[in-house]
Amino acid sequence: MIFRSKAPLRISFAGGGTEVEPYLSERGGVVLSTSIDKYAYASLRFRDDRQITVTSLDYDVVAKYDLDQPLTYDGQLDLVKAAIRRLNPQDSGQGLDVFLHSDAPPGSGLGSSSTVVVALIGLFKQWLHLPLTHYEIADLAYQIERVDLGIKGGKQDQYAATFGGFNYIEFDRDATIVNPLRVPPDVLNELHYNLLLCYTGKTRLSARIIDTQVEGYVRREEEVLRAMDELKRIATALKDALLQGRLNDFGALLHQAWMNKKKMAAQISNPGIDQLYETARKHGALGGKISGAGGGGYMFFYCPFERKHVVAEQLERLGARVVDFNFDLHGLMTWEVR
């Protein structure tokens, strides 16, 4: 018997950073995002001995653990170890082979690390028949990553990967509310037709950027506070524009979101990212932004269809790589192979 799972990566249109503590608890966060057809995959099969082996197919890394020994965090595949400790499959006494693979590397800005954790939870849920709701899966993924391992970051990625589709997500101290958006099919098709996703060629360490953003908020820097509050307003305006099919307004609001996001921390952008953004705008993009904390990874742009190919050509001349994608409307999926 083999168990498998996959969870989608996401692009965040606006509000990212407002779901990071302590802003989340003190002022409440809002994020508008969608999952895309790039995934983190996990597979599990049984062994005849009392070992757990974890293989990262992306990095050709294999780690082995004995069921009779405690799992310790040492910087090697700690996300997997934390998931195993939380879900406690060691109690089954069953040796396991776990295989991981992702369509995007950590630091890409598509929420890949959190998505791997969601895929792992889905894997163990399927095997152990755990009665977990989507909300419980997303919260457990957050606890594993942010509490157990102390990895800096927000809450949106875990919910986007678990629920899938277009979501307007509200965060406060006591609850997270995922509002799935019923976007008309013709609007979805037009949005996909006009969106351009590209890889900047560089990954980044989001924790450093998030540290700077949090420090600015804690010091009550006026520009940071104003930008974060404005990003929540823009996320709501983007949601309304999307549901009403006002996609040119959607593109213009993306530009506003990027201008405000850059004010949250100096490392969010850099000369290379600025050049890509300014070139895209010069050649017809209405707006766009980095997906994720910033500093590198993936960018996306809203371009009128007659300018999209021109923008793509100009970005590739600067070294970016245009990536085909579509929207994912399913979220976490698990299955068995007999």
Just list the catalytic residues: 157
Cα 221 from chain centroid?
A: 27
249 CB-side CA count, 13 A: 14
| Joined tokens for residue 250 | 């959607």
Neighbouring CB atoms inside 10 A of 279's CB total 16
User: Strand, helix or coil at 329?
Assistant: coil
User: Strand, helix or coil at 8?
Assistant: strand
Residue-by-residue DSSP string for 139-171: HHHHIIIIIIS-----SHHHHHHHH-SEEEEEE
Nearest to 77 by CA among 92, 99, 95: 99
Contact 275, 318 (CB under 8 A): yes
